[in-house]
């Protein structure tokens, strides 16, 4: 069976109302934790676009589809090829070294969130990347011993043809701002596609945004909307593995480093996401 045929067969065993976790697997770092967390928040269907050699067969943890993806761009192309098959389903798009947090995720499932979002006539949840890193040089990647920048963020309006796009904001700062000499300018935005409905014509752009205007907005026209956050080790991993930045990445802490406690309340307190009208 082709990858698309396998995906169609896999989705038949999962109701269309359940969100699909689409996980882009670059390597094995933190993959078991990603699977455990996805199950915890209520993601039943897990589809892995897996570039590791030999990852070709379904398993009890989900559906693994081989993906020849040397770059993020190649992952994005593979994602877009699958979106028509996922039509009208909610998608949680993350890499294996990331997880999605949303308000009250400790006590409410992701289906609870998306049901509310649909009631507000929204089909995407504005999401912000939060770059995590070890809190001391001798520590490895550990969700329980990670830090993040608690200050040093700024936003800019988004322009198209000289006009400001309504309700769109480009967010910058944190680790990608501090280490900007090692980060391509096209990869410095912190807002990104994470939770969205696969609707006709919608694709993911090379910089991990949604292709349509409304999908990139952070709020309804009438009030603030619920938003989400994506704690991520990807930047720290990239900096550590790049020979040009490996020396600087041995210790990524700074005076504003704060211990990450893994809770939605902490990220709401520091402005990375908000509940909107969801109480």
* pLDDT values of the chain reduced to their tens digit, one per residue, 279 residues: 788 899 999 999 888 888 999 999 998 889 999 999 999 999 989 999 998 887 655 567 899 999 988 889 999 999 999 999 999 999 999 999 999 999 999 999 999 999 999 999 999 999 999 999 999 887 788 999 999 999 999 999 999 889 999 999 999 999 999 999 999 988 999 999 999 999 999 999 999 999 999 999 999 888 899 999 999 999 999 999 999 999 989 999 999 999 999 999 999 999 999 999 998
* Three-class DSSP category at 79: helix
Residue 39 host element (H or E): helix 31-40
Taking a C-beta distance cutoff of 8 angstroms, is the pair 216, 210 a contact?
yes
Q: What pLDDT is stored for residue 57 in this prediction?
A: 52
Report d(CA 12, CA 9) in Å as an integer. Answer: 5
**What residues are paired with 149 via a beta bridge?**
257
Nearest to residue 176, comparing CAs of 252, 116, 94, 89? 252
- Give every CB contact of residue 162 below 8 A, 6+ residues apart in sequence: none
As given in the structure block, the two tokens for residue 178 are 């501090």
**Which residue in this structure is represented by tokens 């269907």?**
45
| 207 closest CA partner among 97, 114, 129 | 129
Longest distance between any two alpha carbons in the chain, whole Å? 53
C-alpha gyration radius of the chain = 18
């Amino acid at each position: 069976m082709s990858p698309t045929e396998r995906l169609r067969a896999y989705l038949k065993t999962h109701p269309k109302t359940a969100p699909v976790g689409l996980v882009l697997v670059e390597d094995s770092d933190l993959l078991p934790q990603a699977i455990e967390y996805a199950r915890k928040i209520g993601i039943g269907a897990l589809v892995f676009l897996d570039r590791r050699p030999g990852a070709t067969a379904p398993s009890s943890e989900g559906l693994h589809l081989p993906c020849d993806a040397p770059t993020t761009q190649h992952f994005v192309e593979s994602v877009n090829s699958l979106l028509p098959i996922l039509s009208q389903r909610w998608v949680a798009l993350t890499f294996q070294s990331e997880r999605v947090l949303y308000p009250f995720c400790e006590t409410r499932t992701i289906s609870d969130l998306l049901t509310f979002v649909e009631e507000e006539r929204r089909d995407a949840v504005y999401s912000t990347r939060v770059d995590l890193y070890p809190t001391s040089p001798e520590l490895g990647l550990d969700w329980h011993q990670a830090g993040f920048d608690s200050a040093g963020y700024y936003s800019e309006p988004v322009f198209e043809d000289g006009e400001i796009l309504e309700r769109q904001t480009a967010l910058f700062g944190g680790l990608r701002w501090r280490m900007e000499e090692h980060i391509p300018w096209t990869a410095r935005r912190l807002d990104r596609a994470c939770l969205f409905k696969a609707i006709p014509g919608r694709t993911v752009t090379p910089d991990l945004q949604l292709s349509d205007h409304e999908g990139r907005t952070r709020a309804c026209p009438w009030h603030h909307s619920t938003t989400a956050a994506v704690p991520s080790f990807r930047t720290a991993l990239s900096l550590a593995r790049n020979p040009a930045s490996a020396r600087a990445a041995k210790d990524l802490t700074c005076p504003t480093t704060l211990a990450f406690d893994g809770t939605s309340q902490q990220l709401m307190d520091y402005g990375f996401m908000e509940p909107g009208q969801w109480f």
